Amino acid sequence: MRNKSFYLLATGQTLANLGDVFYILVLISIIYKATQSIFYVSLVPLINMVSGTISSIVAPLIIDKYNLKRIVVWTQLCKTILLLMITLYTSYFMSDQPVYMIYLLVFCISFLDGWATPASSALLPILVPDDKLTKANSLLSTLNQFVQLGGWAVGGILAAFLHSSGLFWLTFWLYALSTILMAFISDVVKTEISTDSSNSNKILTMLEGWNIIIKNKALLIIHLLIFCESVANTVWISAILYPFVQQRLSVGINWWGYINTALLSGFLIGGIYSLRYSNFLYNKLRASIILGSFIVCIMTLLFGLNTIPWVSLLVIGLYGAFQEIKNISVHTLIQSVVNDRLLAKVYAAEGAIIMLTFGISTILMGIIADKYNITLVFLVSSLFLCFSFIIVFVFKNMLVIKSGTNTGINNKDEKIHC
């Protein structure tokens, strides 16, 4: 873990994640102040989903052309420039101009994230030894959860003192510093460059990550799990939790904040546990995924049926802890079975699956909540989580990393090359 490049990546990502929190916070504030419309504010996550999905689909073309470090650095640099444009626009032109230009810039930033996320995830197993992947994933995840837990509170306080323009400038400097740090990552990535640029090959390149997932049994099982959980995770959006707090728990809306804090605290605890016992978790990846899937299913069901406010905090905290441990195990498994060059393409396909599924299921869950009742939404979510648990339990023998096989972790050359 004493790897300069890894720590540069970790620090750069943490600064970028903190900047993302501030960016979204001030963006929502500015759009609502300019339009006085929740509808216009709700367009931000919709634009993020559409842009991210399109970007994830075409990402393999970029991954084939450039090495991973270059993708990570240049996407962050471009995000920094775009944020500067948003800052200048909102500071000097917003008063007499429509908000549509902001939406265009938001689309571009989300588009770049669709390239940066799979590239940075694929860069990790190149920078650290195989047997330290769990520890590295745990550290990155813990830092991210810490940012998510404290970033919104700190951002709200800073916004009161710096106002929207000042917070945007602070975010710009966080992005700029993140770019500089990532630029010093060692050039250890030797990505193979595609020489045939025919349209047919471009299509095959975009589908390469999907083909790897379908052909490899371990990856297929994992991504069926991810699909089911993407559907189930829509119960934690504000549109579902707000009415749940009022209708089911019969408490004030301030409990929505308590529940979110408990959830993020659970994520943080799960990340710290994974970091502390990374060697144990590394040797128990399959058991961690199975147990995590089971506990997450039970906690979601209990949360939906519960009517006692303080119990909801305990339940969602346990949910967050086991969800985090399971997610870290899943990421470690994926990184362990796929060749470094193809890993980014697998992550790009995974990103498209998550965004599309989450976006569509958000609409469907909202319809169910409006037409029937809020408890039914949690029952549907629990059902999908039950499916995911059954899938990983029935096919648990496929979730094993074996030395000397096509899914070997002990020899990078024995990973999936397809």
**Residue 67 · residue 127 · CB < 8 Å:** no
**Residue 216 · residue 353 · CB < 8 Å:** no
Q: Which pTM value belongs to this model?
A: 0.84
Instruction: Give Cα 390 distance to the centre of its chain.
Output: 24
Instruction: Using the structure block, give the residue that is written with the tokens 């000042």.
Output: 166
Domain limits of the chain? 4-130+147-188, 202-414
CATH of domain 4-130+147-188: 1.20.1250.20
186, containing H or E segment: none
Which residues make Cβ contacts (< 8 Å) with residue 365, sequence separation at least 6? 234, 235, 240, 377, 380, 381
Torsion of CA 151, 156, 158, 163, to 10 degrees: 130
Instruction: For residue 187, give the 3-state DSSP assignment.
Output: coil
| pLDDT one digit per residue (tens) for the chain, 418 residues | 457 888 999 999 999 999 998 988 888 888 888 887 777 887 888 888 899 889 999 998 888 888 889 999 999 999 999 999 988 888 777 666 667 888 999 999 999 998 999 988 888 888 888 888 889 989 988 888 888 878 877 887 888 788 888 889 999 999 999 999 999 988 764 444 444 444 457 778 888 889 999 988 899 999 999 999 999 998 888 778 888 888 888 888 788 888 988 998 999 999 999 999 988 888 888 999 999 999 999 999 999 999 999 999 999 999 999 999 999 999 999 988 887 778 989 999 999 999 889 888 888 888 888 888 888 999 999 999 999 999 999 998 888 765 433 333 334 444 544 4
Which residues make Cβ contacts (< 8 Å) with residue 110, sequence separation at least 6? 47, 48, 51, 52, 55
CATH of domain 202-414: 1.20.1250.20
Torsion-angle region of 163 (φ positive above 0: left; ψ -120 to 50: alpha; else: beta): left
Domain 4-130+147-188 identical in fold to domain 202-414: yes
Report helix angle 38-65 to 340-371, nearest 10: 160
**Residue 167 · residue 155 · CB < 8 Å:** yes
Which DSSP string corresponds to 330-374? Answer: HHHHHHHHB-HHHHHHHHHHHHHHHHHHHHHHHHHHHHHHHHS-H
